[in-house]
Structure 1
């Protein structure tokens, strides 16, 4: 079963950061609509993000969601660890009877390899902040727009 908590939480936090930059209001309803996600899933993800100080939510009719710290101080690792909790990327098979070299050692070996892979993944996520991510998305958006404009110009030139 695929786990969409981290990518959804990342999109939520990035969306809140963009809204703040633009002076707009974020709510669980606006996030759910923008991300095409179930509103209850969004609210469920808000709990650990709030608990870890990544977002701050105000209640009431004019309530909204804001970043809990500056975007430069929130890493993707922070977001990942907040919503994933203690779930491992890969789970090892339950202990099996030790009948041969492989079955006697597969569990501990798999766990050691998975631990190394998880630590490497967390190190990569720790190098990226919300601010870095927004800057990269903005650069990518400009690239995509420039590529689209060039394609349109080529199509128009070919059609003439």
Structure 2
């Protein structure tokens, strides 16, 4: 089963950062609509992001969501660890009967490889901040390319 918590949380945080830059307000409803995600899923992801100080939300009619600290101080690793909790990238198969060299040792070996992969992934995520990510998105913005423009025009014409 695919886990969409990290990519959704990353989009949420980046969207909040963009809205702040533009002086606009972010809410769970606006994020859910923009990300085409279930509003309850967005609110569920807000809990660990708030707990870890990545975002701050105010309640009430005029409530909004803001970054909890400067974009330069929030790494993608912070976001990942906040929403993934203790779930491993891949799970081993611990209930395999130990009948041969492979089945007797696959579990511990797999766990060691997964641990190495996770540490490498976390190191990469730690090198990227929300500010870096926004700058990279702005540099690589494809909305100006012909394919994107044509797709947007077609979508608008269909409405």
TM over 0.5: same fold?
A: yes
Output the CA distance in 2 between the equivalents of 1:18 and 1:157: 24
Output the CA distance in 2 between the equivalents of 1:121 and 1:10: 15
Secondary structure of the residue that 1:17 maps to in structure 2? helix
Q: Residue 116 in 1 paired to residue 111 in 2? A: no
Matched residues, number: 158
Per the TM alignment, residue 99 of structure 1 is displaced from its structure 2 partner at its CA by 1.4
Q: Structure 1 residues 159, 77: closer, same or farther in 2, change over 3 A?
A: closer
String of CA shifts for 1:132-160, please: whole Å, max 9, x gaps. Answer: 0000000001685489799xx99999999
Per the TM alignment, residue 98 of structure 1 is displaced from its structure 2 partner at its CA by 1.7
The structure whose Rg is larger is 1
Q: Structure 1 residues 100, 49: closer, same or farther in 2, change over 3 A?
A: same
Q: Structure 1 residues 99, 142: closer, same or farther in 2, change over 3 A?
A: closer
Contact 2:143 2:149 in 1 (8 A): no
Secondary structure of the residue that 1:56 maps to in structure 2? strand
Per the normalisation by structure 2, the TM-score is: 0.90
- Structure 2 runs not aligned, ≥5 long: none
Q: Structure 1 residues 156, 108: closer, same or farther in 2, change over 3 A?
A: closer
Per the normalisation by structure 1, the TM-score is: 0.89
- Structure 1 runs not aligned, ≥5 long: none
When the two chains are superposed, the root-mean-square deviation of aligned CA atoms in Å is 4.4
String of CA shifts for 1:34-90, please: whole Å, max 9, x gaps. Answer: 000000000000000000000000001110000000000000000000000000000
Output the CA distance in 2 between the equivalents of 1:67 and 1:74: 9
Output the CA distance in 2 between the equivalents of 1:58 and 1:158: 38
Q: Provide runs of 4+ in structure 1 moved above 6 Å.
A: 146-150, 153-160
Q: Structure 1 residues 92, 24: closer, same or farther in 2, change over 3 A?
A: same
Contact 2:28 2:43 in 1 (8 A): yes
